[in-house]
Amino acid sequence: MEKDSPCKVNLLLNILGRRPDGFHELETVLHPVAFCDRLRFDRAAKGIELTCNDPRLPTDGQNLVFRAADAFLKSTRISSGVRIHLEKRIPMAAGLGGGSGNAATTLLGLNELFGQPLAPAQLQQLATGLGSDVPFFLQSRPALGTGRGEILEPLDPFPCFCGAAFLLIHPGFGISTPWAYQQLRRFPWALNGRPGRARELVNALQAGPLKAAASGFYNSLEAPAFEKHPILALYRDFLVEEGAAGALMSGSGSTVFGVCASLADADRLADKFRTRFGSAAWVRTVPAAPAPA
Ligand code: C5P
């Protein structure tokens, strides 16, 4: 059995403070992006065998796919094994949630392969244990996230995103998520954001138009990321100056994205970006609302 494993962007990531458990309290607006890795699942006699087309990725217990499969087999007490192949296309340590999406798709894929032994609430619990962004990928709608990002309010598609497109730019280097969060103590205003921005952005996205709503895009983690990697700020500002309705760094970076009114606009902006910055960066354009299957 094969499944697509999509990625996401954060239209807003507003950090509200550090928690006693070491995580950060935040509010975020997550939007699915139909640029996908591919996962293949087969039953096997015993154990978990994971292979991947990208040799840089560990295929043992460090890999979230492996950990998701392990959590699934343990909680269902299934004694047979699985063989999983991961075709990686989404950049890694990129703020696009590629690994988190792979983990969620593995939970959904194995649950289907073995005849749905787990109820949605159990999948949710396993997902939360695997990472803050994993529960988002159990569903396919935009969402408002709170807590450490795992408490989700699924949202209706934003009308102003109809016909719009994402331009994704990955600079060719990654950013470690724990590193980005740790740096926040040097940026107290970014560590202690004003609560309520997420709901304001969602209201604006539901009322439209796109350009007005995009002025509410915000990411606290741009502060440490842009200080270390100023090229990311140049990328973001270039996208806005050259016609994107809005632009932001996604998650803990390093991907910067623009939202454009149409796929044709996003493709034109991608060409301008390559003309200005050369072809070293990874650049993709993706419709914001995928055509219905
Ligand atoms: O939940 P996840 O495994 O994706 O988190 C990775 C790391 O990011 C955590 O170990 C923590 O350092 C940081 N993090 C955080 N607060 C959050 C989410 C992540 O401090 N809300």
> What is the value of pTM for the model shown?
0.97
* DSSP, res 63: S
Question: 99 C-alpha to center of ligand 1: Å?
Answer: 13
Question: 131 C-alpha to center of ligand 1: Å?
Answer: 7
Index of the ligand 1 atom closest to the CA of residue 178: 12
Q: How confident is the model at residue 293 (pLDDT cuts 50, 70, 90)?
A: very low
Residue 22 has pLDDT above 80, yes or no: yes
Summary mean pLDDT of the chain: 97
Question: 19 C-alpha to center of ligand 1: Å?
Answer: 11
Question: 258 C-alpha to center of ligand 1: Å?
Answer: 24
- Verify whether residue 133 is a known catalytic residue: yes
Q: How confident is the model at residue 289 (pLDDT cuts 50, 70, 90)?
A: confident
Q: How confident is the model at residue 96 (pLDDT cuts 50, 70, 90)?
A: very high
Pocket residue to mutate for ligand 1, from 23, 63, 179, most atoms within 8 A of Cβ: 23
Pocket of ligand 1 (CB under 6 A): 23-24, 26, 131-133, 148-149, 177-178, 181
Which amino acid residue places its CA nearest to atom 13 of ligand 1? 178
Question: For a pLDDT cut of 70, what percent of the chain falls above it?
Answer: 99
Question: For a pLDDT cut of 90, what percent of the chain falls above it?
Answer: 98
Index of the ligand 1 atom closest to the CA of residue 252: 8
Residue 63 has pLDDT above 70, yes or no: yes
- Two structure tokens written together for 101: 């999406």
Q: pLDDT tens across 209-237, in order?
A: 999 999 999 999 999 999 999 999 999 99
Domains (ranges, CATH) in the chain?
A: 2-153 (3.30.230.10), 156-287 (3.30.70.890)
Residue 150 has pLDDT above 60, yes or no: yes
Q: pLDDT tens across 114-130, in order?
A: 999 999 999 999 999 99
What average pLDDT does range 82-97 have in this prediction?
Answer: 98
Q: Is 134 exposed, middle or buried (0-12, 13-18, 19+ CB in 10 A)?
A: buried
Angstrom CA distances, 281 to 27, 264, 284, 293, stand at: 29, 20, 10, 31
- Verify whether residue 21 is a known catalytic residue: no
Residue 37: strand pairing partners: 5
**38 vs 17: CA distance, rounded Å:** 36
Q: pLDDT tens across 126-148, in order?
A: 999 999 999 999 999 999 999 99
Give the β-pairing of 2-18 and 218-219: parallel
pLDDT (0 to 100) of residue 100: 98
Helix (H, G, I), strand (E, B) or coil at 171: coil
What average pLDDT does range 17-43 have in this prediction?
Answer: 98
Of 190, 168, 182, 175, nearest to 254 by C-alpha is 175
Which amino acid residue places its CA nearest to atom 14 of ligand 1? 23
